[in-house]
Structure 1
């Protein structure tokens, strides 16, 4: 790869235009925000997102902050470490404002009431604007249609659980810079497919640690294709339709590959291999009855975590973080910290749900309680502190990287990671169908 300057990194080129999505005859008109042409414009628009008013739809409500921010927090993650791009490759950004199209000013109605749910007391987080309700509704409609008609994901009796997952709200909150609903659907299908495999192979709906490795490996070939002889290829192809997780993996990955660059698709395959390795470690401990040391549990959670979701933020945003920039050790540290912090949010919000489920579920409060001989309450509160330290470490590492490599794609990718962390927390906080907090305060 050619050296483009003193930083020794490649500048992003023009991405190929993804193939047009198959039109959905049932889709209502949905207002999409403009594609942001620069990192500076993107960062300015991210809190809150900007939408173009659609005259065929009623005016959207003004964004509303959905929870009370921690008064000790210095501001949002983006405000903290991403003031705007400087340095190599940013000279032309000054031209962006010159060619902006003026937009009609929408009527601003009263803000909607805050969503249900409360944040874990003492948890360091940033509130986010209410997700665009038109986008949430459309993503929710499309993903259910995909799950039912394209991949036959779940039996009728699981429909309520699928609806209660609120994946449309989840993905709209996590990807505020997605230029279209089609781009949001790339992340939504993958999220649903990953969750289906976790449920059906590991957790609530028939999952078991026994034989998990074989099941995971065969499912992984839906993402990272098996290359074999003509005699054995048909049997593999047939296996890809044999259960709901594999059908979902195949379909979601096909959509993703059509929109992603080869580098982005390969990045996702590697992140999913990490995830599946984390599943196997947890399954091994379940089979042997081993309760890991706290550091061992956190090491497992660095692999069994949300990493595949925020690392596709550039594909969903319709740009690319080049492979050499993604591979930088400081970028890898930022990505790892982001995945670790978001996953501990899940540990904290799903704590009571897991205690009420059959069997023993490992999560950070449970491991701290056993290994450090603390009460359930004290262990939970210490887990909050561990999350907070990791979240602060993410923000500090992102700030350092933004200073060291202030390229527009790097800044935008960091902003996307921060937005995903914030959206993930807010989804956990507001999803009272799935989660409730312990009575420790």
Structure 2
């Protein structure tokens, strides 16, 4: 995934929308959706020989937790999801039609964590603190998976794994997940993606030289190799040959047994996009090419977070049907969400990448070199680029909600918006990994 430093690497409210969007949609607070439709929790993957079976602790984290929504005046997306208001319009509010009403009014959302600070001027929305019981349980389970099931990292990397705070990350990004089992689907995939990025591309032994071959073999853990009886055993053996492939293989095995076939194939497609983005960046590194700004942004549309929000329905325990997911307006919303969140990563990881060995491409660096800007002016322009992408995402989501007010589409839009918000909040609060430049 994007960023991926040596430390286990690589939205929506600082100011209200204005202008056209604000004039279309009066300030509203979107009511919380009902609990999601129950689904059978995924079957655990078989543990390796000698491993201690996973026995999830019975905690409040395993119960269905209603989605808590931050009051969000002026949001075009949430206004459309709520529907019209006033006398005689209750039956038209599409966002509330897929379940019973909440028994009590939603309390105000708690203030976001004081730890860390947002990039000044960055358009984003604060989120409630992730459920601490779920964070603790996801963190416990993912570390056990990493250590016992896939032997993901050596002992000396343990602090870096802990500092990634993946439990807080995934709980914050998927507030409508019915259970911790559902959250673990996303958490394993996130950790596996970062292991591939770190060990194949970045500072834990990665290199642009020969990357294509390594990624191809790793991708067969996600999209299985179909061959003759003579050669299949060698491929099967290769899946256990290194930590990234073990992680991909295990995480995908859990996912395909919980998701529908179309959701699994959608994820494979988005991971192929991601790997293509890795290869473009690697090719530029090998030739010393600094891309034009538009070229860099095109690369980042592929080397970005897209595989994460695209599975929001799987993690939520429902499915956005394949024909709806394939709509061009749905694809535009997903692409803009991935593009905006990836620039968030560029901004928060800027100082860390400057302190790392080698020449790291990120949007402020490319803007500085291609448009002859100072470091400060390039960084501030990157903030503007993010804000424009974020506004475009919200407008596209609002347009889609009006054009296709199908309950699963509306729920999927809410899930993607929650992922965008949670991704920013994780970057803001992860002071173990990120610090801001002194440009203000």
Residue 29 of structure 1, CA deviation: 1.8
TM-score by length of 1: 0.83
Are residue 159 (structure 1) and residue 162 (structure 2) matched? no
Q: Please, which of 56, 66, 69 is the counterpart of residue 47 of structure 1?
A: 69
* CA deviation vs aligned residue, 1:269-315 (integer Å, no higher than 9, x gap): 00000000000000000000000000000000000000000000000
Could you tell me how far apart the structure 2 residues matched to 1:408 and 1:367 are? 41
What SS is found at the alignment partner of 1:97? coil
Judged with a 3 Å threshold, the aligned counterparts in structure 2 of structure 1 residues 422 and 16 are, in CA distance, closer, same or farther, namely: closer
Are residue 24 (structure 1) and residue 24 (structure 2) matched? no
Could you tell me how far apart the structure 1 residues matched to 2:121 and 2:437 are? 14
Cα contact 1:75–1:126 (8 A) shared by 2: no
Report the equivalent of 1:11: none
Report the equivalent of 2:419: 420
Are residue 97 (structure 1) and residue 97 (structure 2) matched? no
Residue 34 of structure 1, CA deviation: 3.1
Unaligned runs of 5+ in 2: 1-36, 46-52
Cα contact 1:81–1:395 (8 A) shared by 2: no
Report the equivalent of 1:347: 346
Report the equivalent of 1:216: 215
Q: After superposing the two structures, state which structure 1 stretch, 74-83 or 408-417, moved more.
A: 74-83
Report the equivalent of 1:34: 64
Cα contact 1:139–1:184 (8 A) shared by 2: yes
What SS is found at the alignment partner of 1:82? helix
* CA deviation vs aligned residue, 1:329-388 (integer Å, no higher than 9, x gap): 011110100000000000000000000000000000000000000000000000000000
Report the equivalent of 2:439: 440
Report the equivalent of 1:53: none
Could you tell me how far apart the structure 2 residues matched to 1:89 and 1:257 are? 36
Judged with a 3 Å threshold, the aligned counterparts in structure 2 of structure 1 residues 384 and 19 are, in CA distance, closer, same or farther, namely: closer
Report the equivalent of 2:123: 124
Are residue 181 (structure 1) and residue 184 (structure 2) matched? no
Could you tell me how far apart the structure 2 residues matched to 1:31 and 1:254 are? 24
Report the equivalent of 2:9: none
Are residue 377 (structure 1) and residue 383 (structure 2) matched? no
Judged with a 3 Å threshold, the aligned counterparts in structure 2 of structure 1 residues 422 and 379 are, in CA distance, closer, same or farther, namely: same
Could you tell me how far apart the structure 2 residues matched to 1:92 and 1:211 are? 49
Judged with a 3 Å threshold, the aligned counterparts in structure 2 of structure 1 residues 287 and 187 are, in CA distance, closer, same or farther, namely: same
Could you tell me how far apart the structure 2 residues matched to 1:289 and 1:94 are? 54
What SS is found at the alignment partner of 2:358? coil
Judged with a 3 Å threshold, the aligned counterparts in structure 2 of structure 1 residues 89 and 146 are, in CA distance, closer, same or farther, namely: farther
Cα contact 1:87–1:406 (8 A) shared by 2: no
Could you tell me how far apart the structure 1 residues matched to 2:381 and 2:111 are? 35
Q: After superposing the two structures, state which structure 1 stretch, 266-275 or 110-119, moved more.
A: 110-119
Judged with a 3 Å threshold, the aligned counterparts in structure 2 of structure 1 residues 29 and 323 are, in CA distance, closer, same or farther, namely: same
What SS is found at the alignment partner of 2:120? coil
Judged with a 3 Å threshold, the aligned counterparts in structure 2 of structure 1 residues 238 and 185 are, in CA distance, closer, same or farther, namely: same
Cα contact 2:77–2:395 (8 A) shared by 1: no
What SS is found at the alignment partner of 2:60? coil
Judged with a 3 Å threshold, the aligned counterparts in structure 2 of structure 1 residues 81 and 354 are, in CA distance, closer, same or farther, namely: farther
Cα contact 1:196–1:244 (8 A) shared by 2: yes
Q: After superposing the two structures, state which structure 1 stretch, 113-122 or 131-140, moved more.
A: 113-122
Judged with a 3 Å threshold, the aligned counterparts in structure 2 of structure 1 residues 200 and 76 are, in CA distance, closer, same or farther, namely: farther
What SS is found at the alignment partner of 2:381? helix
Residue 83 of structure 1, CA deviation: 1.5
Q: After superposing the two structures, state which structure 1 stretch, 88-97 or 200-209, moved more.
A: 88-97
Cα contact 1:76–1:126 (8 A) shared by 2: no
Could you tell me how far apart the structure 2 residues matched to 1:421 and 1:331 are? 15
Report the equivalent of 2:196: 197
Count of residue correspondences:
392
Cα contact 1:90–1:408 (8 A) shared by 2: no
Could you tell me how far apart the structure 1 residues matched to 2:258 and 2:38 are? 10
Residue 27 of structure 1, CA deviation: 2.1
Judged with a 3 Å threshold, the aligned counterparts in structure 2 of structure 1 residues 402 and 182 are, in CA distance, closer, same or farther, namely: same
Residue 204 of structure 1, CA deviation: 1.4
Could you tell me how far apart the structure 2 residues matched to 1:363 and 1:177 are? 32
Could you tell me how far apart the structure 1 residues matched to 2:293 and 2:95 are? 49
Could you tell me how far apart the structure 2 residues matched to 1:268 and 1:415 are? 19
Residue 32 of structure 1, CA deviation: 4.0
Residue 15 of structure 1, CA deviation: 9.5
Judged with a 3 Å threshold, the aligned counterparts in structure 2 of structure 1 residues 186 and 367 are, in CA distance, closer, same or farther, namely: same
Report the equivalent of 2:390: 391
Judged with a 3 Å threshold, the aligned counterparts in structure 2 of structure 1 residues 111 and 411 are, in CA distance, closer, same or farther, namely: closer
Could you tell me how far apart the structure 2 residues matched to 1:95 and 1:434 are? 40
What SS is found at the alignment partner of 1:253? helix
Unaligned runs of 5+ in 1: 1-13, 37-44, 49-64, 66-72
Report the equivalent of 1:357: 356
Cα contact 1:89–1:408 (8 A) shared by 2: no
Could you tell me how far apart the structure 2 residues matched to 1:211 and 1:191 are? 23
Judged with a 3 Å threshold, the aligned counterparts in structure 2 of structure 1 residues 183 and 303 are, in CA distance, closer, same or farther, namely: same
TM-score by length of 2: 0.83
